[in-house]
Structure 1
Amino acid sequence: MIKTKLSNFLSYLIKQLGNVLYYSLGELTAGLISLLLGFFISTGLSTIPGQTGDWGIIAASLIVAATEFISKLVYSSKFQLSVRINLINNFKVGIIYGLFVDAFKLGS
């Protein structure tokens, strides 16, 4: 096959597309794991103290306060994290989503 500018461009484009898809798939996997981990933790933390019926609201408010404190640490200019912010955000979204699911379970 003769190497033309078009064939060089297409081979470069395919190589770059493969690299982007490879790294995107890894980030997607890590994001889903952190989302599901947040969901699991919020479900566990809001269910275990809620067995007596008295501590469910307090446990949920402590979980929300902890996520807000983590947000304050992550987004402050003084505190720099080496961990990706997307993973932390996915974890927090999982926590909030777990609390909503528990609230819908209790409401029905």
Structure 2
Amino acid sequence: MDSTNLAAFVKSLSQNFSKARKTNINALSLSVLYMLLGFFISTTLSTIPGQTGDWGIIGAAIIVTFYERISQQTYPLRLGKNFKKIIIHRVNYIKIGILYGLFVDAFKLGS
């Protein structure tokens, strides 16, 4: 059976996609995306309870509690599989984004 242009295009597209998945620039862009997601989460969590003015301490306590629970659940795991490493790295990037967002909010309030 002859190869059609569509089959050649799909094969070329799949090869290019598999090559793109293996590059480090893809990992860099995903890490930046997850940090921005964490930044968005921290901004959301710090502004919603802060609307009333009396929920600031309780909101911070909830954020820190979730932050520490995530650390408690992820770090004792054995890192045998590559999938677990990827998930832990993504969660850590989200945590870095949350911490960065909280620092930015603290500097905004301090100025």
- TM-score, normalization by structure 1: 0.72
Partner of 1:107: 110
CA contact (8 A) 1:73 1:79 kept: no
Partner of 1:31: 31
CA contact (8 A) 1:64 1:96 kept: no
Report the CA distance shift for 1:52/1:67 in structure 2 as closer, same or farther (over 3 A). Answer: same
Residue 71 (structure 2) pairs with residue 91 (structure 1): no
Measured in 2, the distance between the counterparts of 1:57 and 1:39 equals 19
**In angstroms, what is the RMSD of aligned CA positions?**
2.4
Measured in 2, the distance between the counterparts of 1:101 and 1:69 equals 23
- What is the correspondence of 1:1-108 to structure 2 with a 5 Å cutoff? 23-77=23-77, 82-83=83-84, 84=86, 85-108=88-111
Give structure 2 stretches of 5+ with no counterpart.
1-18
Residues 27-36 or 56-65, more deviating: 56-65
CA contact (8 A) 1:43 1:99 kept: yes
Report the CA distance shift for 1:55/1:24 in structure 2 as closer, same or farther (over 3 A). Answer: same
Give structure 1 stretches of 5+ with no counterpart.
1-18
SS of alignment partner, residue 53 of structure 1? coil
CA contact (8 A) 1:74 1:80 kept: no
Residue 78 of structure 1: CA displacement? 7.1
- TM-score, normalization by structure 2: 0.71
Measured in 2, the distance between the counterparts of 1:73 and 1:79 equals 13
SS of alignment partner, residue 54 of structure 2? coil
Q: Percent identity?
A: 54
1:41-96 CA distance string (max 9 Å, x none) = 10001101101111112112211110110011011237988451221111000001
Partner of 1:12: none
